[in-house]
Structure 1
Amino acid sequence: MPRPSMMHAAPEMATLDACLAPHWGAANRALIAKMIGELSYERILAPLGDDDSGYRLDLNEHGSWHFSAQTNLWGQPQVDPESLSPPPGASLEAADFLLALAAPLGMQDSQVAEHLEDLFATLRADCQLRQARRGLSADAAIRLPEPQRQRLLDGHPKFLFNKGRRGWGLEALARYAPEHGHSFQLGWVAVAASALESGGTAIDTPELLRSALCDIELGRLRQALAERVDNPTDYRLMPVHPWQWQRWLAPLHAGDIAHGRLHYLGEFGDRYAPQQSLRTLTNVSRRASHDIKLPLTIMNTSCYRGIPGRYLLAGPAASAWLKRRAQEDAEFARAGLEILAEPAGAVLPHAQYARLDQAPYRYAELFGVIWREALAPRLAATEQALLMAELMQRDEHGRPWLAAYLRAAGAESPAAAERWLTRLFEVTVVPMWHLICRYGVSLIAHGQNLTLILRDGWPARLALKDFQGDLRLVDEDFPEASDLPENLTAVTVRLPPEKLIHDLQTGHFVTTLRFIAPLAAACGVSETRFYQLCGDVLTAYRERHPTLAERFARFDLFAPRILRLTLNRAKFLHATDNARERMLAEMDLHVANPLHGVRQAAPRADVITTPEVSDV
């Protein structure tokens, strides 16, 4: 069936409800299954096994749920949504299930009400996603252009209500949420250069502006500026998200507008589509050289989606340092690591809110921009880029997109699939561990930050992005990282080794590989074998770098147990609207590490090896 165009205007509001009735039941079942699975992983719920695949979940006075599930190597039940059987008189509505969980979770009514808002918004978005994927096979999905594939993804795999977007109504959702598949022009403002705080190059260099505006549109924008101000050279041109301008910037920066420090010039230039993260926008009019990241003061998953100024200004320095390491380090070169640099960023602080040290953090993250190198212009004709999150996705018939990617690579047999996965681990996990062990630098490497690049269908290299706030440092000085920029180290969190390695363990193994492994099993590679392959690749990497042995022991990926992060428990109990800082997830007990378990269970298998790489 024909697919919706990314260029369509947003639909009439009356049409947005059409997706609900056909998909409501399935979306609720899927969400309840996710709630049981993730809250069991967080040890909030404790289903009891009735037999090999049958489970019972007792909710005290709310009765018992029955379902079928397979337990993964993390000790988590993977619930079959179609098998869910509620207690007598109970419904298969996710909202009712949340009400039944209020007591076990320790939530007050005010907290339940707030999270119901996120739950209903997520269900509505999930119904829209199901409608968008209707009739689209996994094989057809992976052939779509990358921006269109992003609009079909389920979103954060761990957060239960991952599309809350609190603050957006139907019209904003239709225009700016990725699952609706629409694009829009950016608003443009002129900001007094003296009021702006910048990092990297100027935010309105000709190269940056021409990546967002053709010559005609750039001329119109400059003409609009000349008509509004006496001295255009005293101002910087800056894009803004249309919704952010209308809802937050124009009202709260009225003083800057009144005093001539800020001028709204209108909407100009190319059309942009939101990526999964909402804030990062991709040019869909042409293969531009840069993406643009803009703050959005909406609550989604764990926080308001603004951009902290201290991290934004350090982003260009962080990405420039990482780019040099990727070019100079032989291990990164071996993996083909690509850094999507952030050449420029800027914030406009608010004159009054900036003086309120105890104010909610969202008021300090309203107004800024990050220009980021786009990947598309760097791809060869035989290459394809995909978010790692795509490897967690299924089509409407349950077929994994991973199976389609394996088929496209000619890797459908279990042996070929193992070779494909081996190469996946070589170009993804190895460079991230090397970054930690050699340089003491970590990135929270989840499925939206990692872009896998296939060449002729096979994993070839990895692109890393998003270095504001997702980068951390070890709490000691590694000589290999002695040239880290001072403005970066001044604002970056430092952690001891056992906490720093947690970024890779939770950010990638728990948040990404935990969800890919079951789909690999559907492609003929068991979950145990999946982690064995990963362990073999990491062992081969260790053997190439004997001089890093002491670091490998300190940043141990093979430890018997690792810290477990309880994101949903923290979200349910955290007061968000008036918090001075972003939510910090809880680290409670430890969870068994599959990498350790599978290494104990079987001898090392043969791995694909390449020549030794020097540590120098």
Structure 2
Amino acid sequence: MAPDDRAASATLHSFLNCYLHEIGGHEVVNAAETPLVTDCKRGVRLPLPEQGIEVFVPLSYYSAGDRHLFGGPGVSVLPDGRAVDLDYLRLARLLLEELSLARDAPGAVDELLLRVVESCRNTARAVEARRGDEERLYGFETTFRDAEQSLVFGHHRHPTPKSRQGIAPHDEPRFAPELRGSFRLHYFRVAADLLDHDSTLDRSAPAWIADALRADESVPESFVAEHVDGDTDDGLVPVHPWQADYLLAQPAVRVRLGDGIESLGEVGREFYPTSSVRTLYSPDAPFMVKGSLNVKITNSARVNKRHELVRGVAVSELLDAGLRDVIDAEFPEFDLIDDPAYVTVDLGDGESGFETVLRENPFRGDAATNATPVVALCQNPIGGGRSRLGTIVETLAEREGRSAGAVAESWFRRYLSVGVRPVLWLYLRYGFGVEAHQQNSVVLLEDGYPTAFRYRDNQGYYFPESRYDRLDDFLPGVGERTDTVCGDDIADQRMIYWTVLNNALGVVSALGRSGLVDERRLLAVLREELESLREVDAPGSSLLDQLLAEPTLTRQSNLLTRFHDIDELDDSLDDAPLFVEVDNPLVTAFDGER
């Protein structure tokens, strides 16, 4: 399939699955009883009553978790009965127009359609660039860098998974992870009175940066002598090179050039953009760099807020105060990657754009082998093969002489035990909630099977009010410092979405779509795991009751967030448009059996 056609198919799948999952109103029908000309036995019928239109799309695989496979964009049947062939863009326009009319809200239809097209073009470029690289993308073995840079298609249920507003096309090969981008960090030398930093380590953030530069053999000795070892209290701030150009154009920065701020340019070892685009990794560096990037990626401009810098350090202190010991005693294969230090420039008016988190780098040397974000395992292939997870399970089945379904169940059980169970146990037992969606979840594989799990992200923590005292006992005042204490219902809602709907059910759908196992078999395993957590259920939480008994659940709506052009990371906004009710397959997939 040509890159443009493959990208159009991927765009159709991400957009339509997003719409059907979040908006609904459709039914699965016999394809022979529709206007479709298709080899598929089933189709999706989607009435658009505001326009008097019906849409029919061929369905080649039905997913209990609503990550379906389609046999093409289908047709629309007009009020006069004529059937009109669709492509991904015509279909997207029809669905967005229906959304606008039904909600009596114009939304940002034209802007969103533009981003759909942009996302599709970026996807086509990535498909073209990575054809022939299937072994690195989907092979049995991988490295942390290769896995982080393998997301050719991006978020599998988002209307614009590869939309990036701000990075010019000619800069994409350098800055896009899926194009295997790489670059050196841009450093600014900043006077001590302008530096703002903190650290839980035995050294300050500027000292950690200086030590890393001294140890980097690619840094010229003259640079170290002049800017690192000089007789001064100045500090160096590492910045993404795109952000450096952005900062150098800002009036508040320009006025301080030569007066407390000096741009030193790019220096040192190569860093690689990871799946988040703005978090940067180098296999030999002691830390990863998570800096601000004033680029709108999917739903939001990816900039660090000051309270997020403080939160990372405070959570690191909380873990060091005894919580990590508790976790390690119960789940030695589970850990949280620390964000123990930060540095920024204080220009006196909120965030300056220099905000930089220094994240622990546990993936150095051999530790980078087969460490992969879960989202990379579950992504569809660019060709006709299977996802990386599908490849792994198929290979294991051949090696072990077992059925693919049996191996898929074994793999999933191990994944639940090293990742999902510890996350939910920690939340229910200690009131420590994390946004463990697939991109924030790194699983370590050995001989193909999950053996350990690492959570990362200083933005995503939730401390439910009813159990906050358990965390305060470890580190008094940590809730105020992190600004993460919230109502139990809010915390439950977020944990259900990130950990179960996004993460665990995403793995279920990926295995099902690979044709290796019936999704209901894995859903039953997940129900069993959730039932076993009753032993640590918290009185203030309804999380387990909702997951095991409620036919619908609340999840973030990527489509409505994009439709209303809402920045999901803006804490000041009412989040009502961001969350919608969706079917709970842990209940609905077993209707009639209970």
Smaller-chain TM-score bracket: 0.7 to 0.9
Contact 2:293–2:303 (8 Å) recurs in 1: yes
Tell me, what secondary structure is at the counterpart of 2:156? coil
Letter of the 1:394 counterpart: N
Quote the Cα distance in structure 1 between the aligned partners of 2:228 and 2:476: 37
Quote the Cα distance in structure 2 between the aligned partners of 1:597 and 1:48: 15
Compared CA separation, residues 45 and 91, structure 1 to 2 (3 A): same
Tell me, what secondary structure is at the counterpart of 1:550? coil
Quote the residue 1:390 is aligned against: 376
Quote the Cα distance in structure 2 between the aligned partners of 1:492 and 1:264: 34
Quote the Cα distance in structure 1 between the aligned partners of 2:287 and 2:98: 47
Quote the residue 2:305 is aligned against: 308
Quote the residue 1:56 is aligned against: 45
Quote the Cα distance in structure 2 between the aligned partners of 1:249 and 1:397: 45
Contact 1:316–1:342 (8 Å) recurs in 2: yes
Quote the residue 2:68 is aligned against: 78
Contact 2:210–2:236 (8 Å) recurs in 1: no
Quote the residue 2:532 is aligned against: 540
Contact 1:562–1:593 (8 Å) recurs in 2: yes
Matched, 1:502 2:502: no
Alpha-carbon deviation of 1:48? 5.9
Which residues of 2 match residues 120-135 of structure 1 at below 5 A? Answer: 120-135=117-132
Contact 2:333–2:453 (8 Å) recurs in 1: yes
Residue ranges of structure 1 left out of the alignment (5+ in a row): 1-20, 355-363, 604-616
Quote the residue 1:595 is aligned against: 586
Quote the residue 2:345 is aligned against: 348
Quote the Cα distance in structure 1 between the aligned partners of 2:332 and 2:492: 20
Quote the Cα distance in structure 2 between the aligned partners of 1:570 and 1:512: 20
Compared CA separation, residues 497 and 261, structure 1 to 2 (3 A): same
Q: Deviations over 1:224-259 (max 9, x none)?
A: 4389xxx75221111011111112344333355246
Tell me, what secondary structure is at the counterpart of 2:165? coil
Letter of the 2:520 counterpart: T
Letter of the 2:353 counterpart: L
Compared CA separation, residues 84 and 224, structure 1 to 2 (3 A): farther
Matched, 1:367 2:354: yes
- Share of identical aligned residues, percent? 21
Quote the residue 1:104 is aligned against: 98
Which residues of 2 match residues 482-561 of structure 1 at below 5 A? Answer: 482=472, 483-484=474-475, 486=477, 489-521=480-512, 522-543=514-535, 545=536, 548=537, 550=539, 556=545, 557-560=547-550, 561=552
Quote the residue 1:609 is aligned against: none
Quote the Cα distance in structure 1 between the aligned partners of 2:386 and 2:568: 40
Tell me, what secondary structure is at the counterpart of 1:32? helix
Matched, 1:452 2:443: yes
Quote the Cα distance in structure 2 between the aligned partners of 1:554 and 1:22: 45
Could you tell me which of 24, 28, 47 is aligned with 2:4?
24
TM (normalized to structure 2)? 0.84
Contact 1:335–1:426 (8 Å) recurs in 2: no
| Number of residue pairs the alignment of both structures matches | 562
Higher alpha-carbon deviation: 329-338 or 259-268 = 329-338
Higher alpha-carbon deviation: 370-379 or 58-67 = 58-67
Contact 2:29–2:45 (8 Å) recurs in 1: yes
Could you tell me which of 149, 152, 155 is aligned with 1:151?
149
Task: Quote the RMSD (CA, aligned, Å).
Answer: 3.3
Contact 1:212–1:269 (8 Å) recurs in 2: no
Compared CA separation, residues 323 and 45, structure 1 to 2 (3 A): farther
Quote the residue 1:67 is aligned against: 57
Compared CA separation, residues 216 and 568, structure 1 to 2 (3 A): closer
TM (normalized to structure 1)? 0.82
Quote the Cα distance in structure 2 between the aligned partners of 1:325 and 1:131: 49
Alpha-carbon deviation of 1:327? 3.8
Q: Deviations over 1:129-163 (max 9, x none)?
A: 22244234468534343312322212222321022
Compared CA separation, residues 281 and 35, structure 1 to 2 (3 A): same
Quote the residue 1:8 is aligned against: none
Quote the Cα distance in structure 2 between the aligned partners of 1:63 and 1:144: 47
Matched, 1:46 2:11: no
Quote the Cα distance in structure 2 between the aligned partners of 1:533 and 1:577: 33
Tell me, what secondary structure is at the counterpart of 1:329? helix
Letter of the 1:339 counterpart: L
Quote the residue 1:219 is aligned against: 221
Compared CA separation, residues 266 and 343, structure 1 to 2 (3 A): same
Compared CA separation, residues 340 and 241, structure 1 to 2 (3 A): same
Contact 2:75–2:84 (8 Å) recurs in 1: no
Letter of the 2:10 counterpart: A
Quote the residue 1:180 is aligned against: 179
Quote the Cα distance in structure 1 between the aligned partners of 2:427 and 2:333: 17
Compared CA separation, residues 579 and 389, structure 1 to 2 (3 A): closer
Which residues of 2 match residues 437-448 of structure 1 at below 5 A? Answer: 437-448=428-439
Contact 2:315–2:482 (8 Å) recurs in 1: no
Quote the residue 1:281 is aligned against: 280
Contact 2:488–2:540 (8 Å) recurs in 1: no
Contact 1:542–1:552 (8 Å) recurs in 2: no
